[in-house]
Amino acid sequence: MRAATLTDHLSGWPDHRLERLFSLRPDLCHPPVPDFAALAARASTQMSVLRALDGLDRAHLDVLEGLAVLAILDQLPPTRPDAGPSVTLSRLASFLTDGTAPSLPGTAPDEAHLAAIKALVLDLVEAALVVEHDAGWRVPVPVAAALGPHPLSFGRTAAALGSEIVLPADREGVLTLLAREAVRGELLARTTAALEALQSSPVARVPEPPGPVHEVLLRTGLLVPLGADRSGSEGSVAEHPLEAGLAWRRGTAGRTVHPEPPAPSGRAVNPALSRNAALAAIGDLLRGAADLLEALAGGLPTLRSGGVGVRDLKRLAGTAGGTPEDVSWLLELLASAGLVVLDPDTSTWVPAATVPAWRRSERQVQWEALVAGWLSSGRAPMLGPVPPGTSGLGPGGPSSGRALAPDRNRPDAPRLRAAVLEAALEVSDEQPGTRLDEAVPDRQRWRGPRQQARSSAFTLPLLAEADRLGLVGAGALTAAGALVAAGRLDEAAAAVGAALPAALTRVRLQGDLTAVAPGYLDPDVAGRLAAMAEVEGDGAARVYRFSDASVHRALESGSNAEELEAFLEDHSEDAIPQSLRYLIRDVARRHGTLTLGDAGAWLRSDDEDLLDVIVADPALATAQLERLAPTVVVAGVGPAVLHRMLAEAGHRSASARRGPTRGPAAEGGRRTHAGDGVFPEPVRAVRWSPSEEELAAQIARLRSAPQPAPSGAGTEEAVAVLHQAARQRTEVDLVTVDQRGQRQSRRVVPLAVAGGRVRCLVPDREAETVVPLHRIVSATTV
């Protein structure tokens, strides 16, 4: 359909239909369009059509592709410039079956099936993807071009493939053709199996030399060679013609349209099991996040190419307690939640300034912050390697899989998570407790079949991440997960807070110098206990082991033996074991026999009289000089300050030579800033929808605009016509302008459209020519 015709079509719609169109395809009014001609032009652009097709479910897409296939089969000549083949509802309903029980000629389809197909077609009409024409419907050229060369997995016509072999019209004729070629026994079974496979993928790779099955298919015209394979492998590519596919499917589409998605199958998960698994996962998550933030106090360096090195990750995993895979995922989650940030001065990942407040918060608040960071993160997936075949944005490549590396950046990551949770909520509402590992991929394949090829690799990794967050438990969606999927995160956090057991304030002290916390321990109590004992284990029940070194550490922090015993008495279920009391008192008795102080600089001189003068000099009193030996003096200030003070007092000193620095500063040359240091912001997860005021303003603007004069097809439609003609190898009347602006008309067969040019065959001259797209005025199918 030409732009002018679509303009007339849309201008005749009432206001409520235009509102429905803008609701289904909001990009058509964002930004607002000035008139119906601009609206028709925008609705015909490839980007807008592709965006609309991506939003179709399996049923609507099958109906649309069925209309496109029937339009190719009709081969009706146009009666006027804007006319084309139309399809009746009855014919479409008869065509969209699986072919197992074909209807007799003239038999009307089932009324329920007919009503379902009609409802789906009307939905497509409301989205301007199908237009009403005479007594039927047809697909506009830009929409047919956007569907691709193989609607309903049918190949192109034999004529478009360059084949002159006359193919049978039914399945029995195909089998008879194979019998005439002496195809019997095992070869016949293998050939029919190959034909079945071609119904889902009409393009096949033919080895060199071809095998027996390929030889039969090529010889009979059931496969048509297309040329060498550009992938570099030996062999060629061949295509199954549309006529052959139609005959094999008994004149039908080979599939029945189901307006409703398939019901989830499998046994349901016990709600109590799912709930307990989710609560355990939340406990492990919060405990692991706190331990990792503690282990990150010294910073985590980055590599030159971005991300964290394997050695640093293993070292961090050993400190925090956990596997490198778990620590890698927690790092990604904490960075997305803003609890771990990149210090641009040192190029290291460090805990954020908000970490102390996060630690002091209640557990449901901590959990809410982590889930909010996961939902809004532009990183996917956080768990496991980056799926092969996806577009990695960083220099590490799409398969490096390093923690915090740029290759996990994916601007549509929030939308992918929202889609997974929405599908999980749908199947769980239909069948509570259903397992999501199979139900969610199946539902997403039905909801968005065109998007599934780009996003299917992320579904299971994102479900695994949701399991670690407690949104999924034992494979089923939890109550908190359902609230998060519905956009009610605050209510989910409240539900998690009510479900989690109260924090413990008491531990079990045992005679083997250990303390056992059988559950979640209050953060303040856990912090004090960790200051005087070593933490062991990472399960629900934590073990704290007291030792000579751990008690020394507690005393060095400013506590004394009486305070340690008082704390243990207040937070112990039983009396303090005698062995632990003896340990604390024995360490306290020995603590302080060796005192450590600060010494900022030192002086050494063989002239003892000179050192006597320096120590007694009142001008150097603030240097806190102290004689350690007849020839050695230490100071309480640094070397630079002491050097300046000595010079002001009239004493000249020489700095001692030092060897090369081996600290972090010396190794800094091997570490560089990781890219920009900040991951790109993700795109908005929720699609923009126009408000009632915006819809009213847009429609009023369209109604007040003057009606444009009829014009020819626009550039977008001309390119769509050329693409479709190149696939079908059909002739078009091409109108172009030369450098002087003069129009030229010629009849050509488009061969390829790419790189801003179209390569055409001119039948009259039997020669090829190349035409720039910017010189094309219109293209009309002959």
Q: From CA 750, how far away is CA 726, in angstroms rounded? A: 5
Nearest to 602 by CA among 633, 630, 631: 633
Q: What is the pLDDT of residue 220?
A: 92
Question: In angstroms, what CA-CA distances link 220 with 170, 186, 286, 615?
Answer: 15, 18, 66, 109
Q: What angle do CA 468, 472, 474 make, to 5 degrees?
A: 95
What pLDDT shows up at residue 214? Answer: 92
> In terms of residues, how long is the chain?
782
- 179 contacts: CB under 8 Å, gap ≥ 6: none
Beta-sheet pairing, 757-762 with 767-772: antiparallel
From residue 274, how far is each of 264, 277, 473 by CA, in Å? 18, 5, 4
- Look at the block and give the residue holding tokens 């609607």: 151
State residue 662's pLDDT score: 36
Name the stretches of the chain with pLDDT < 50.
1-4, 76-84, 102-106, 230-233, 391-399, 657-678, 685, 710-713
Query: Is residue 671 a contact partner of residue 304, using CB atoms and an 8 Å limit?
Result: yes
pLDDT at 395: 37
Judged by phi (left if over 0) then psi (alpha if -120 to 50, else beta), residue 377 lies in: beta
Enter the pTM of the model: 0.75
Give the count of beta carbons closer than 10 Å to the beta carbon of residue 656.
9
| Structure tokens given for 360 | 């002091």
- Helix 46-54 vs helix 449-468: angle between axes, to the nearest 10 degrees? 50
Instruction: Check residue 77 and give its pLDDT.
Output: 36
What is the C-alpha separation between 517 and 509, in angstroms, rounded?
A: 9
Is residue 716 within a helix (H) or strand (E), and if so which, with residue range?
Answer: helix 715-728
Q: What is the spatial order of strands in the sheet that 340-343 belongs to?
A: 300-301, 348-351, 340-343
pLDDT of residue 76: 37
Residues 631 and 611: beta-carbon distance below 8 Å: yes
Peptide bond into 381 cis (omega under 30): yes
In angstroms, the CA 543 to CA 620 distance is 53
Per-residue pLDDT at 668:
35
Q: Tell me the pLDDT tens digit for each residue of 534-570.
A: 888 666 678 899 999 899 888 888 888 899 999 999 9
Give me the residue label for tokens 């061969």.
751
* Residues 435/458, Cβ–Cβ less than 8 Å: no
Cα–Cα distance measured from residue 90 to residue 421, given in angstroms and rounded to the nearest whole number? 38
Predicted pLDDT of residue 665:
34
Q: Are 682 and 411 in contact (CB under 8 A)?
A: yes
Give the residue carrying structure tokens 């409802």: 119
Q: How far apart are CA 70 and CA 63, in angstroms?
A: 11
Instruction: Report the sign of the C-alpha dihedral through residues 455, 461, 465, 471, in that order.
Output: positive
Collapsed DSSP state (helix, strand, coil) of residue 370: helix
